[in-house]
Amino acid sequence: MVRRNGNAVPKYYWVSTPADTYEGGASSGTPIHFSQSHRIKTVRQVIVTEGILKADRITEFHDLPCIGIPGVHNFKETFAVDLKRIFPEIELALVAFDADFVNNPHVQDGLCKLVFNLAPVIETHILKWNLSDGKGLDDVLFNEREVNDEEC
């Protein structure tokens, strides 16, 4: 994954080669990122956020492990079931998409789909904060602002 400078669109892009065009080519597959996943067994909770770099930043400021989804819609239908199979100890998933989900229909749609995916398998809460305190949870934690959670 490469982050582009300035206001480039898209902000991130994945380096890959189409396997059907290049012999030995490979897709990036937009993988899910785990930050401090070894801690899931002891804390039994995980934060799920949008963004790989954001997941790493969150674990710098918070004691909970974090999963970074590479885009608000980039997770499989089996995400929750796979997560519970890999980490059966998870009791609580805290979803922390950017605070603009309130007025950004694309982010709001991704958040709803993720919650509907997780909630039947793992107790799920949504983390919320004032947008003025930071767009992402990483910014809010860096700014030492308050975060609230709401049960789904």
Q: What is the pLDDT of residue 8?
A: 85
> Over the stretch 113-137, which tens digit does the pLDDT of each residue have?
999 999 999 999 999 999 999 999 9
Q: Are residues 43 and 4 in the same domain?
A: no
* pLDDT tens-place string over residues 34-83: 999 999 999 999 999 999 889 999 999 888 899 999 889 989 999 999 99
Residue 16: pLDDT over 90: no
CATH number at residue 104: 3.40.1360.10
15 pLDDT above the threshold of 80: no
Report phi then psi at 67, rounded to 5: -115, 130
Domain range for 145: 31-151
Same domain, 131 and 82: yes
pTM assigned to the model: 0.84
